[in-house]
Chain A
Amino acid sequence: MSMPDEHTVRAEVRAWLAEHWHPEQDLVEWRGILADSGWGMPHWPRAWYGRGLPVAMSAVVDEEFDAIEAVGVARIGIRLLAGATLLEHGSEAHKRRFLRPILTGEDTWCQLFSEPGSGSDLAGATTRAERDGDDWRINGQKVWTTSAHHAEWGLLLARTDWDAPKHQGLSCFVIDMRQPGVEVQPLKQMNGYASFNQVFFTDAVVPAENRLGEIGDGWKIAMTTLAHERRGADALRRWGQAPARAGRIYDQLRAEIASVLEPYKWYPQRAGRVDLALPRARETGRIADPAVRQELARLLMLSSAAEWLARRARAAHELGRPQGPEGSLGKLAGSEVARQAARVHTLVSDAEALLAGRDGPHDGTIAEILLSVPATSIAGGTDEIQRNIIAERVLDLPREPRLDGGPFRDVPRNPERGR
C-alpha cells in the first residue's frame, strides 16, 4: 500500500473541511461527523474512525484544522488512552460501543490502576473482581485517579486470581462509574487543584461483556495503556484552548474546557512552560545576567533536543525500523526539561518567585509551574521506574532480585487501609 504524500493529504482535508466545517453547529454533532470521516484520528485504522495515515500526517491534518480554527475530536486526557487501549484489546462490540462517544466528547474516562498499596508496582493491585452469576463484583480502592469525578467509564485493573503469580492474576474491565457501588472522593493536590481522586468500590457491578481481553490478561492490557501514556507524555503540553471567537460550537467548547477538561488545566505548567522562558527573561531584563543566560541556554538546548529525539523515534517507527533507545527515553527527558524549566523560571522571576495568584509573576502561572513540576517525574511511572526500564529492557542489565514470586496471596505487601 503506498502512502499518500503530504500535499495530497493537505488538499483532501482542506476540501473536506471546506464542505463540512462551520462554527454554528453543535459540538457533539460536528465531532460525530468528523469521527465518521476519519479526519478526527487520521492515524487510526480506516475501520475505526481513522484513515490509516502515518502519525506524522496527523500533524499535517492538525495544521489544516488550526489554520481555520476548526474544532477537532475530543483528544485530551485519559479518554484517549482508553481509546487507544480499546482499539488494541477491545472486541468488535467494545469498539462499536465505546470509541465513538470518546471521540465526540460525550463520554469521559478514567484510569483505575494505582492503589494505595501499589503505584509503581501496579501488578500488586488488590482490588478484587469476583464472579457473581454473569456479572463481576468489584471491591477495593483506587487512588490518584485523574478525572474520576467527571468520568462515565473507568478502565479498571483488578485481581481475579489470588493463587496465580502476581502478574498473571489480574484482569481488565470497563466499569460504569455512575453506579451506587462506586464512590468518588476528590483529593486536593499540592498545587491547589483537585484533578485526581480516590475511588471506593463496594460490590460495584461489571457485566460479563465488559471484561477486556481474557481473564488474566490484565497486566498486558494495562501495559498498553501505560505505553501510550509514556509515549504521549509530551502531548500533555497541549491543553484545550478555545479560540476567542463567536460561534455556537466555540461556546460549547469553552463550556467543555471549564468542566470535564478542568483537571488538565495545569498540565502545560507541569511540563515546565518552556515557551515562557525566553520571553520572560527578556521582559524582566534578567537575560542580561550571565547566570540566567547559562541556565536558560541549557533549558532551550535540552528541550529542543528532546523534541528531535522524539521525532527520531517517530521516524524510525514509520520507516519500520526496530525501536531504538530513543523510544524509552522520552518520558525521562520530559522530567529533565520540566525540572530545568522550574530552575530557570525561578532565576528569571527572582524575588517575584515568592508570589502566587494575582500577585505572582505572569498572573500566577510561574507559581503554578513551580508547584506542578514535581508531578511530571511521578505520574505515568516515576523517573526511577523509567530508569529501571531503560536499564533492564534497553541496556539488558540484570534484573533486580525479586521477593514477589509465587502465589500472590503469599507475597509481602502493604497493610490494607481501611477508610
Chain B
Amino acid sequence: MRFSFSDEQEQFRAVVRRFLDDHAPPSAARACMASALGHDEAVWARLADDLGASGIHLDEAHGGQGFGQAELGIIMEEMGRALLCAPYFGSAVLAAGMLRHGATVAEQAELLPPLASGARRAALAWVEDAGRWDAAGITLAAGRDGAAWRLDGRKRFVVDGLCADDLLVLARVDGALALFLVAGDARGLARRALEVIDPTRRLAEVDFTATPARRLGADVDVDAGFARLFDEALVALAGETIGGARRLHAEAVEYARLRMQFGRPIGSFQAIKHQLADRLLDIELAAAAVNHAAAALDENDPAVSAFAAQAKAMASEAGMAMAACAIQVHGGIGFTWDHDTHLWYKRAKSSEVLLGTPAWHRERYLAALEANA
C-alpha cells in the first residue's frame, strides 16, 4: 500500500508508541545525552525483547520478524517522535542492512542473529575525511597480509560507532567496494567520539593502523549492495525525521492554543496559524514521499533511488522548517536549555545533514530521473 497504512500496521504503531512513551520520555533522552554511553542499556534490551525491534525487517531465519521497509519506517517514525537515544539506526538499519546486502548467505546466518536479538551491536564505517556519503567517497584501499587482510586509514561520521561490538568497514579492493568485519577490540583500532551538534546521536572517528580485518561477501556485488542499503537508510532516516516533526507540530499547536498575549491565544493570530498550516503541508507532503519510497523499496521498484532521494530531501527540509517554527512559536522559552524543543531541533539539524543535504539529494534525484527516462 503506497498511500495508506493497513489496520495491522496502525496497531503495530500504537504498540511501539506505548512502549516508547513508557520507556523513552524526554527526561530519558536528557539522561542519555549526559551519559558516557549515550543510551540506556536496559531500554535497548527491552526494545529487542518486548518489540523485537532490531530484527523487524530481518528474515525469520536470522532471528528477525520478516517485515519490510514499511514496518521499519513505522518504528523509525516512532523513535523520532520519542527522540529515543539508542544505537538502532547505526546497528539495526545501517550495519544489519549492509550485511543483508553485502555478505554471503553463510556470513549472514552467522552474523545477523546477534544483531537481530540486540545481543550485539555493529556499526558501519564508510564515510571518510571528505564527508562524502555515497560510494564515490570511499577511497580507503584494503591491504593484504598474505591471505589475510588489513586496513590502514581513517573513517569518520560513524553512526553509533563507539558502542559497537563490531565494525563493518567499506573499503576498496581492486577498485571495487569490499566489505570488512573488524572486531571492536582488534589491534591497531582507535575509536574516538566526535563532538557533535546533536548529543542524542553519537558519531565516532575510527583510525586503522595495520588493523586485521575479515573480508565478507567475497562473491557479492558490494557496490550494488551498498547502493541498496543507502536507499533503505535514506528512507528510514526520513521516516524518523517525520516522526520528530509531527511531534513538534502537535506541541506547537498545543502551546499556541494555551499561550495568551494581547488578551487572546497566540494561536488565534494568523501569523502563527498560517505558519502552522504551512508546516503541516510540508510534513504531510514529505510523509507521502516517505511512504511512497518505503513501498517502492518493498516492491523492488527500479526507480527506487529517485524516490529515496526525494523522501530524504523533503523530510529533511520539512523537519528543519518545523523545528525552527516550533522554537519561534514558543518564543523565548523555546530558546532555553530546559525546554525540550531544542532536543528535536538538534536532531532535525543532524538528520538534515546526515547521509547528505537536501540540495545534494535533489541533484541525485534529478540525475536518477534522467537516467530512468
Once the chains are docked, how many angstroms separate the CA of A311 from the CA of B292?
Answer: 11
CA gap between A257 and B257 in the complex, in Å:
50
B337 in the interface, Cβ–Cβ < 8 Å? no
Contact A391 B286 (CB under 8 A): no
Given A294-B363, A316-B4, also A397-B289 (CB < 8 A): no
- Say whether A308 contacts B281, CB under 8 Å: no
Chain B 269-295 interface residues, beta-carbon cutoff 8 Å to A: 270, 272-274, 276-278, 280-281, 284-286, 288-289, 291-292
Bound: A288/B286 CA distance, A:
27
- Classify the interface of chain A: helix, strand, loop or mixed: helix
A252 at the B interface (CB under 8 A): no
**8 Å CB interface, A368-404 against B:** 384, 386-388, 390-392, 394-401
Q: Is residue B268 contacting chain A, with contact meaning CB distance below 8 A?
A: yes
Q: Which chain A residues (9-59) contact chain B, with CB distance < 8 Å?
A: none
How far does the alpha carbon of A298 sit from the alpha carbon of B291 in the complex, in Å? 18
A333 CB-CB contact with B under 8 Å: yes
Contact between A398 and B267, CB atoms less than 8 A apart: yes
Interface centre among A308, A329, A333 (most CB of B within 10 A): A308
B281 & A397 in contact (Cβ 8 Å cutoff): no
Specify which chain A residues have a CB less than 8 angstroms from the CB of B278 in the assembled complex.
Answer: 332, 387
Q: Does A246 contact B (CB under 8 A)?
A: no
Q: Closest approach, in angstroms, between the C-beta of B350 and any C-beta of chain A?
A: 22
A325 is an interface residue with CB less than 8 A from chain B:
yes
Q: Do A305 and B3 have beta carbons less than 8 Å apart?
A: no
**Contact (Cβ within 8 A) A309 B264:** no
- How many angstroms between the C-alpha atoms of A311 and B2 in the bound complex? 9
Contact A397 B267 (CB under 8 A): yes
Near A by CB (< 8 A), chain B positions 305-360 give: 310, 313-314, 359
Contact, CB under 8 Å: A329 / B280: yes
Q: A312-B4, A395-B276, A397-B276 are in contact. Are A300 and B257 (CB under 8 A)?
A: no
Q: Is A223 an interface position by the 8 A CB rule?
A: no
Nearest CB in chain B to that of A318: its residue: B4
A319 within 8 A of B: yes
* Docked pose: A287 CA to B2 CA in angstroms: 30
CB <8 Å contact, A399 and B268 = yes
Whether the Cβ atoms of A394 and B268 lie closer than 8 Å is no
B119 at the interface (CB under 8 A from A): no
Q: For the complex, is A155 an interface residue (Cβ under 8 Å from B)?
A: no
CB of B123, distance to nearest CB on chain A (Å): 31
Contacts of A297 in B (CB 8 A): 313, 362-363, 365-366
| Complex alpha-carbon distance, A386 and B270, angstroms | 12
Please tell me if A164 contacts chain B, counting CB pairs below 8 Å.
no
- Number of A interface residues at 8 Å Cβ cutoff, please give it: 44
Check: A296 CB closer than 8 A to any chain B CB: yes
Q: Please pick, from A302, A394, A397, the residue contacting B285 in the complex, using a CB distance under 8 A.
A: A302
Please indicate which of the listed interface residues A394, A396, A397, A401 has the most CB atoms of chain B within 10 Å of its own CB. Answer: A397
Report the tally of A-B residue pairs with Cβ distances under 8 A.
123
A319 and B267 alpha carbons, distance in the complex (Å):
33
**When the two chains form their complex, are residues A326 and B284 in contact, meaning their CB atoms are under 8 A apart?**
yes
Shortest distance between the CB of B365 and any CB in chain A (Å): 5
- Closest beta carbon of chain A to B268's beta carbon, Å: 4
Interface size counted on chain B using CB atoms at 8 A: 38
Q: Is the pair B359, A398 in contact by a Cβ cutoff of 8 Å?
A: no
B233, chain A: closest CB distance, angstroms: 19
A315 touches B366 (CB 8 A): no
**A290 CB contacts on chain B under 8 angstroms:** 363
List of A residues within 8 angstroms of B14 by Cβ = none
Interface pair A388/B270, CB less than 8 Å apart:
yes
Considering only residues 336-391 of chain A, those with a C-beta below 8 Å from chain B are 336, 384, 386-388, 390-391
Contact A390 B280 (CB under 8 A): yes
Give the Cβ gap from A378 to chain B, nearest Cβ, in Å: 16
Residue among A297, A306, A315, A336 with max Cβ neighbours from chain B (10 Å):
A297
> In whole angstroms, what is the CA distance A136 to B281 when docked?
44
Taken together as a complex, chains A and B put the C-alpha atoms of A395 and B254 apart, in Å, by 9
Chain A 300-332 interface mask (CB, 8 Å, partner B; 1/0):
111011101101101110010100011001001
Indicate which residue in A296, A301, A308, A391 contacts B3 across the interface (CB closer than 8 Å). A308
B278 → A minimal CB distance (Å): 7
Complex alpha-carbon distance, A194 and B67, angstroms: 57
CA distance A392 to B253 in the complex (A): 11
| A325 near B274: Cβ-Cβ < 8 Å | no
**Closest partner residue, chain A, to B307 (CB atom):** A304
Contact of B2 with A305 in the complex, beta carbons under 8 Å? no
Taking A294-B359, A297-B366, A332-B277 as contacts, is the C-beta distance between A308 and B270 under 8 angstroms?
A: no
Q: Does A293 contact B (CB under 8 A)?
A: yes
Q: Is the CB of A301 within 8 A of B362?
A: yes
Q: Is A278 an interface residue (CB 8 A)?
A: yes
Quote the shortest CB–CB distance from B371 to chain A (angstroms). 13
Give the complex CA separation of A36 and B158 in angstroms. Answer: 66
B-chain residues with CB within 8 Å of residue A395 when the two chains form the complex: 253, 273, 276-277, 280
Closest to B290 in A: A305
Contact A308 B288 (CB under 8 A): yes
Bound together, the chains give a CA A401 to CA B268 distance in angstroms of: 8
Q: How far is the CA of A241 from the CA of B286 in the complex (A)?
A: 33
Show 13 residue pairs from A and B whose CB-CB distance is below 8 angstroms, ordered by the A residue.
A278-B373, A297-B363, A301-B313, A301-B362, A304-B310, A308-B289, A309-B285, A329-B281, A388-B273, A396-B257, A397-B272, A398-B265, A401-B268
Give 11 A-B pairs besides A297-B362, A308-B289 with Cβ atoms closer than 8 angstroms. Answer: A287-B370, A293-B366, A306-B288, A311-B2, A314-B3, A329-B285, A387-B278, A397-B265, A397-B267, A397-B268, A400-B268
A residues with CB within 8 A of B: 278, 287, 290, 293-294, 296-298, 300-302, 304-306, 308-309, 311-312, 314-316, 319, 321, 325-326, 329, 332-333, 336, 384, 386-388, 390-392, 394-401
